[in-house]
Amino acid sequence: MRIAIVGAGISGLSTAFYLQRSRPDWELLILDSNPVPGGTMRTVERGGFLFEAGGNGFLTNKPDSMQLVKDAGAEQLLLPSSDLARKRFIFTDRLHRLPESPPAFLGSKLLTLPQKLRVIAEVVTPAKRDEGDETLQQFGYRRVGKAFTDIFLDAMTAGIYATTPDRVSVNAAFPLVVNLEREYGGLFRGMIKRRKKQAGPGGILMSFKGGVGRFIEHLQEALSADWRLGTRVTGVLPDSGGYRVITSGGEEQVDRVIVSATAPAAADMLRGLDEDLAQQLQAIDYSPIAVVGFGYHDLDHPLEGFGLLTTTAARLPILGVLWDSSIFPDRAPEGGRSVRVMIGGQRNPELVGQDEAGLIDTAREGVRLTMGVDREPDVSFVQRWKRGIPNYPVGHLKAMSDLFDHVSRFPGLYLNCNAYRGIAMNDCIRNSRELANRIAG
Ligand SMILES: Cc1cc2nc3c(=O)[nH]c(=O)nc-3n(C[C@H](O)[C@H](O)[C@H](O)COP(=O)(O)OP(=O)(O)OC[C@H]3O[C@@H](n4cnc5c(N)ncnc54)[C@H](O)[C@@H]3O)c2cc1C
């Protein structure tokens, strides 16, 4: 059996890993248009500082990434976030500490007393009866009120999906929250009951010594596949009971194809196979995002915490700032500090189109306005993602169910990346492991 895996981001790599594990005799062909694997998971070194081009790790509240780390024998690379990372901030008109406990929430100046009472009234807010999809904003306004939604949920959505609560489906993007309402009748009731059931610590942010790129290298080394990096796939056509994969370097005959490239790239390569399938894939939209990293050899700001997220109402040119060297101290050399600024998303997509100098200026302005840091960084890093994070709008779950029904008409062809059923590293790895197990039988 010869299987092509198109796209060597974490979805493609973990599918390959689990396929190799259960079917070591199968031949795996891994193709990616980039010269290095990892997709958006890439670590770049600049003047002794380490910058992540995309995500900086995974949360241990779901088991999937940790399981892959163990299965791949990479535990020695694990790097837990520092305790400081629990301290988080939101910028509205000024910086507020994000309350971590009910007493801190009651004492917080982020909401007025009536707004806090509206949040508490969630306990007696009746559950939605129908199972129809709605935006996070509709869900939030219904359950916890406008003020909480426009501040807390707005900042959180920018931080995770680079979008806004009115553009994202709560059912597709936050299924756990929807389940709390469905199963327990409300969020607070659900959280209290779940906490009683699951004794033990919650999840923490985990990364890798030397950055997420080290884990990608480890996976690459663990995979004895036929690697074709720097090879763009332009078409996938049925041939002799299998598929012919057309690439920038020629053609490959395989029995099965797993397309783990971004949805628009998948649309382009599958157009010759089925135009309707290509259109369904093309309809999946992405938020552009730029990541600007700054390294400082000395900085007066203590960077005590995880970093900050901004709200839409604050009308700032940045989504947030991650205080990287406080979260993972190995990201900066001795005595140095580093941050990464997130720009764009659905709030300001046009800002991502700027050139490097423009993005650095925007990031410096954001850091000045939110943190009061007004000095030139010693080192800077810029990564622009035109298709950064896939959007999950209202109707996404139905669209995905239709898409997967459609693709099932092509035996031996599979779709798997962050555009369909979860964007977090944990989701990508879970979906990949399940797909590999299904294919391996
Ligand atoms: C800025 C940012 C921050 C993030 N932060 C976090 C975080 O902290 N925690 C977390 O859990 N998640 C985070 N995420 C999300 C998570 O990292 C991604 O969802 C995940 O890495 C996506 O992996 P993937 O393999 O599905 O897709 P990708 O990484 O996009 O990989 C797709 C691959 O397909 C290849 N490809 C595309 N077209 C072709 C073609 N024609 N031929 C061959 N190959 C092709 C690409 O080169 C790429 O390697 C973040 C994402 C971004 C952008």
Residue 39 pLDDT more than 80? yes
What are the two backbone dihedrals, phi and then psi, of residue 339, each rounded to the nearest 5 degrees? Answer: -135, 160
Q: Please give the angle made by the CA atoms of 201, 203 and 207, to the nearest 5 degrees.
A: 130
Q: Is the pLDDT of residue 199 over 70?
A: no
Q: How far is 260 from 226, CA to CA, in rounded Å?
A: 16
Assigned domain for 278 exists:
yes
Residues 280 and 335 in one domain: no
Number of H helices, E strands in the chain: 17, 20
Q: How many domains does the chain have?
A: 3
Residue 198 has pLDDT above 70, yes or no: no
Q: Is the dihedral of CA 15, 20, 25, 31 positive or negative?
A: positive
* SS3 at position 291: strand
Q: Give the confidence band of 371 by pLDDT, cuts at 50, 70, 90.
A: very high
304 burial via Cβ count (<10 Å: 0-12, 13-18, 19+): exposed
Write the pLDDT tens digit of every residue in 123-161. Answer: 999 999 888 999 999 999 999 999 999 999 999 999 999
Helix orientation angle between 275-282 and 263-270, rounded to the nearest 10 degrees: 170
Ligand 1 midpoint to CA 35 (Å):
15
CATH of the domain at 316: 3.90.660.20
Closest residue CA from atom 5 of ligand 1? 55
- When pLDDT is cut at 50, 70 and 90, the band that residue 172 belongs to is very high
**Separation of 397 CA from ligand 1 center, angstroms?**
20
414 strand-pairing partners:
258
270/403 same-domain check:
yes
71-75, 184-188, 308-312: least confident range:
184-188
What is d(CA 376, CA 382) in angstroms, rounded to the nearest whole number? 15
- Give the global pTM: 0.96
For residue 357, what pLDDT is reported? 98
Residue 388 near residue 288 (C-beta atoms within 8 A)? yes
Q: Is 41 in the pocket of ligand 1 (CB under 6 A)?
A: yes
| Mean of pLDDT over the chain | 96
Q: Is residue 417 within 6 Å of ligand 1 at its C-beta? A: yes
| Residues 316 and 299 grouped into a single domain | yes
Given a cut of 70, whether residue 396 has pLDDT beyond it is yes
For residues 400 and 421, the answer to whether their CB atoms sit within 8 Å is yes
Assign residue 139 the CATH number of its domain. 1.10.3110.10
Q: Which structural domain range is residue 16 located in? A: 2-37+211-284+393-440
411 shares its domain with 350: no
* Whether residue 289 has its Cβ less than 6 Å from ligand 1: yes
Residue nearest to atom 19 of ligand 1 (CA): 423
Same domain, 190 and 217: no
For residue 54, being part of any structural domain is answered with no
Residue 112, phi then psi, degrees to nearest 5: -80, 170
Residues 268 and 293 in one domain: no
In angstroms, the CA 344 to CA 201 distance is 34
Domain boundary pick from 162, 197, 232: 197
Tell me: pLDDT of 220 over 60.
Answer: yes
Q: Is 322 in the pocket of ligand 1 (CB under 6 A)?
A: no
Check pocket membership of 428 for ligand 1, CB cut-off 6 A: yes
pLDDT of residue 196: 72
Q: Is 333 buried (19+), middle (13-18) or exposed (0-12) by CB count in 10 A?
A: middle
Of 197, 230, 249, the domain-final residue: 197
> What percent of the chain has a predicted confidence (pLDDT) above 90?
94
Lowest mean pLDDT among 41-45, 180-184, 280-284, 377-381: 180-184
For ligand 1, the distance from its centroid to the CA atom of residue 152, given in whole angstroms, is 26
